Structure 1
Amino acid sequence: MSMFSNFKQQINFFVSVLLCFITLAQSNSLSKPEVSHRSHRVRSGVALGGLGTGSIELRKDGNFYNWSIFNNYPSGTGSILDLPIKPFSNDHNSFLFFLVRYKEAGKQPKIKLLQHSDGIDQGGLLNESPIYYFPWLTPIETIEYHANFPFVKMTFSDNEMPFMISLETFSPFIPHNPDDSSIPVVYFNFSITSKTDTPLEVEIIATQRNLVAFDKGKKFFKTEIQKKDGYTFFKHDVGGVPTDHNTYGHMGLGAFGEQDVSYYTGWAHRHPFMEKLLTSSKLANIDDTKNRNKTAPDGTQIAFTGDDNNQILKSSIAITKTVVSGKPVKADFFMSWYFPNAYGAVNGKRNKKKNTLLPGDKGYEIALKQTNIVGRYYENNFKNVEQVNSYVTKNKKSLYQRTKQFTNDFYESSVEPFILNQVNSQLNTLVTSSQYDKSGRFAIQEGMTANQAWGPFATTDVSLYGSVMTLSLFPELQKSMMKAHKVLQTEKGEINHGLGFDLGKNKNGTFGVYERVDLAPNYIQLVLRDYLYTNDTSYLREMWPSVKLSIDYVLKELDKDGDEMPDMHGIMCSYDNFPMYGLSSYIVSQWIAALKMAAIAAKDMGEESLSKTYEKIANNGIDLIDSQLWNGQYYRLSNDYLGEKGKDEGCLTDQLFGQWVAHQAGLGRLFEEQKIKSSLQTILDYSFIEETYLRNCTWPEHKLFYPMHDTNLWVDQANTPWTGVELAFAAFLIREGMIDQGKNIIQAVDNRYRKAGLYWDHQEFGGHYYRPMSAWSVIDALSGFNIVKNQYTFDPKTKENTFTYFFSANTGTGQFLKEKGKLKLICKQGSLTLSSLKLPSELLPKLNTAKISTSTNQKINGKWNKYKHDDSEFLIIEFKDNIQLKPADFIVIE
Structure 2
Amino acid sequence: MSPRDPWPVLTRYQGDHLACVALPLGGIGTGTISLGGRGDLRDFEVVNKPAKGFVPRQTFFALFAQPEGGAAVTRALEGMLQPPYEGPFGARAANHGLPRFRHCAFAAAYPFGQVELSDPEVPLTVTLEAFNPLIPGDSERSGLPLAVLRYRLHNPTDRSVTAAVCGTTSNFIGGSVGAGNRNHYRQQEGLAGLVMTADLLAPDHPEYGSFVLCTPDEGEITCRTAWAALSWGDSLLDFWDDFSADGRLEERAGTARDPQGSLAVRTVVPPHGERAITFVLSWHFPNRTTWTPADPAAPAVVGNWYTTRYEDAWHAAAAALPELPTLERDTLAFVNSLVGCDLPAAVKEAALYNLSTLRSTTCFRTADGRFYGWEGCGDTQGCCHGSCTHVWNYEQATPFLFGDLARSMREVEFAQATGADGHMSFRVNLPLAQARGHGLAAADGQMGCLLKLYREWQLSGDEELLRSLWPQARAALEFCWQPGGWDADRDGVMEGCQHNTMDVEYYGPNPQMGGWYLGALRAAEEMARYLGQADFADDCHDLYLRGRAWLDEHLFNGEYYEHEIRPPADAAAIAPGLRHESMGARDLSDPELQLGAGCLVDQLVGQFMAHVCGLGYLLDPEHVAETHRSIYRHNFRPSLHGHFNHLRTFALADEAALLMATYPRGR
TM-score interval w.r.t. the shorter chain? 0.7 to 0.9
Letter in 1 for 2:133: P
The aligned residue for residue 582 of structure 2 is none
Q: Does 1:68 align with 2:45?
A: yes
The aligned residue for residue 274 of structure 1 is 240
Partner Cα separation in structure 2 for residue 659 and residue 316 of structure 1: 55
- Shift of residue 146 of structure 1? 1.1
How high is the sequence identity, in percent, across the aligned residues? Answer: 20
CA contact (8 A) 2:114 2:129 kept: yes
The aligned residue for residue 562 of structure 2 is 636
SS in 2 for 1:395: helix
The aligned residue for residue 109 of structure 2 is 148
CA contact (8 A) 2:56 2:171 kept: no
SS in 1 for 2:385: strand
Partner Cα separation in structure 2 for residue 134 and residue 109 of structure 1: 21
The aligned residue for residue 774 of structure 1 is none
CA contact (8 A) 1:561 1:642 kept: no
CA separation of 1:41 and 1:414: change in aligned 2, threshold 3 A: closer
Letter in 2 for 1:478: A
Letter in 1 for 2:320: V
Letter in 1 for 2:394: Y
The aligned residue for residue 209 of structure 2 is 249
Superposition map of 1:40-119 within 5 A: 40=17, 42-71=19-48, 73-74=49-50, 92=55, 94=57, 96-115=59-78, 116-117=80-81
Q: Could you state the TM-score of these two structures normalised by the residue count of structure 2?
A: 0.84
Letter in 2 for 1:424: L
Q: Which of the residues 397, 420, 427 maps onto 1:498?
A: 427
Q: Which of the residues 127, 131, 138 maps onto 1:166?
A: 127
- Shift of residue 537 of structure 1? 0.6
- Shift of residue 95 of structure 1? 5.7
Structure with greater proportional strand content: 1
Letter in 2 for 1:280: D
Q: Does 1:236 align with 2:182?
A: no
Structure with max Cα Rg: 1
Partner Cα separation in structure 2 for residue 501 and residue 95 of structure 1: 37
Q: Does 1:292 align with 2:254?
A: yes
Q: How far does the alpha carbon of each residue in 1:354-408 deviate from its partner, in whole angstroms, 9 at most, with x for none?
A: xxxxxxxxxxxxx868543222112332222332122112111111111111111
CA contact (8 A) 1:555 1:566 kept: no
Letter in 1 for 2:502: Y
Q: How far does the alpha carbon of each residue in 1:841-883 deviate from its partner, in whole angstroms, 9 at most, with x for none?
A: xxxxxxxxxxxxxxxxxxxxxxxxxxxxxxxxxxxxxxxxxxx
Q: Which of the residues 219, 234, 256 maps onto 2:179?
A: 219
Letter in 2 for 1:48: L
Superposition map of 1:103-502 within 5 A: 103-115=66-78, 116-117=80-81, 138-214=99-175, 217-267=177-227, 269-284=235-250, 286=251, 288=252, 291-293=253-255, 311-346=257-292, 348=294, 371-432=299-360, 433-466=362-395, 468-486=396-414, 487-500=416-429, 502=431
CA separation of 1:649 and 1:94: change in aligned 2, threshold 3 A: same
Q: How far does the alpha carbon of each residue in 1:720-747 deviate from its partner, in whole angstroms, 9 at most, with x for none?
A: 7799xxxxxxxxxxxxxxxxxxxxxxxx
CA separation of 1:165 and 1:93: change in aligned 2, threshold 3 A: farther
Partner Cα separation in structure 1 for residue 614 and residue 298 of structure 2: 42
CA separation of 1:143 and 1:568: change in aligned 2, threshold 3 A: farther
CA contact (8 A) 1:347 1:507 kept: no
Q: Which of the residues 586, 594, 597 maps onto 1:649?
A: 597
Partner Cα separation in structure 2 for residue 553 and residue 507 of structure 1: 16
Q: Could you state the TM-score of these two structures normalised by the residue count of structure 1?
A: 0.63
CA separation of 1:473 and 1:691: change in aligned 2, threshold 3 A: farther
SS in 2 for 1:525: helix
Letter in 2 for 1:660: F
- Shift of residue 445 of structure 1? 1.8
The aligned residue for residue 622 of structure 1 is 548
Partner Cα separation in structure 2 for residue 596 and residue 109 of structure 1: 71
Q: Does 1:572 align with 2:518?
A: no
- Shift of residue 329 of structure 1? 1.1
Partner Cα separation in structure 2 for residue 320 and residue 549 of structure 1: 65
CA contact (8 A) 1:232 1:256 kept: yes
Partner Cα separation in structure 1 for residue 557 and residue 160 of structure 2: 77
Partner Cα separation in structure 2 for residue 515 and residue 662 of structure 1: 22
Note the residue ranges of structure 2 that are not aligned, 5 or more in a row: 1-13, 229-234, 570-588, 661-667
CA separation of 1:196 and 1:44: change in aligned 2, threshold 3 A: closer
CA separation of 1:98 and 1:373: change in aligned 2, threshold 3 A: same
CA separation of 1:386 and 1:690: change in aligned 2, threshold 3 A: closer
Partner Cα separation in structure 2 for residue 591 and residue 455 of structure 1: 24
Q: How far does the alpha carbon of each residue in 1:81-135 deviate from its partner, in whole angstroms, 9 at most, with x for none?
A: 8xxxxxxxx97273631100112344432211122445899xxxxx97999x999
Aligned residues: 610
The aligned residue for residue 482 of structure 2 is 556
- Shift of residue 311 of structure 1? 2.4
CA contact (8 A) 1:637 1:655 kept: no
- Shift of residue 752 of structure 1? 6.3
The aligned residue for residue 850 of structure 1 is none
Partner Cα separation in structure 2 for residue 567 and residue 311 of structure 1: 61
SS in 1 for 2:45: coil
Q: How far does the alpha carbon of each residue in 1:388-440 deviate from its partner, in whole angstroms, 9 at most, with x for none?
A: 12211211111111111111122121112221012111011000121111101
